[in-house]
Amino acid sequence: MEFDPSRPKWKQVAAIVRQRMDDGTYPPGTQIPSVLKLQEEFGIAVATSQKVHRGLRAEGLIYTEPGMGSFVSRDLPMQRDEGSGGL
């Protein structure tokens, strides 16, 4: 994947994950890719993948179950600003 150098990579990846939530690829209650899976899929650093997860959690879009993974929130916020990125 080619990233836009004018925007942080984590925000670009978070936007892709948000889009997948919107289009039903990741419906509410389903598990999203782990930090390591995002790293592999997008060719980003682990720290960048962790920022993606933190940002989506801060927006209320995902929650984490210790030892289980991260899941799409069942009650997604009504309006999301794709550019906000949470952090």
One-character DSSP codes across 49-68: HHHHHHHHHHTTSEEEETTT
Answer whether residue 13 shows pLDDT above 80.
yes
Write down the pLDDT at residue 78. 59
Q: Please count the structural domains in the chain.
A: 1
Identity at 5, one-letter amino acid code = P
Within a domain: 4: no
Please give the average per-residue pLDDT across 6-12, as a whole number: 98
User: Which CATH number belongs to the domain containing residue 17 in this structure?
Assistant: 1.10.10.10
What pLDDT digit, counting tens, does each position of 24-77 carry?
Answer: 999 999 999 999 999 999 999 999 999 999 999 999 999 999 999 999 999 876
Phi and psi, residue 31, nearest 5°: -80, 140
Write down the pLDDT at residue 40. 98
Write down the pLDDT at residue 82. 46
Q: Would you state the torsion angle of the CA atoms of residues 78, 33, 24, 76, taken in this order, to the nearest 10 degrees?
A: -10
Answer whether residue 17 shows pLDDT above 50.
yes
Token pair 């309006």 is found at 79
Q: Which residues constitute the domain of residue 15?
A: 9-72
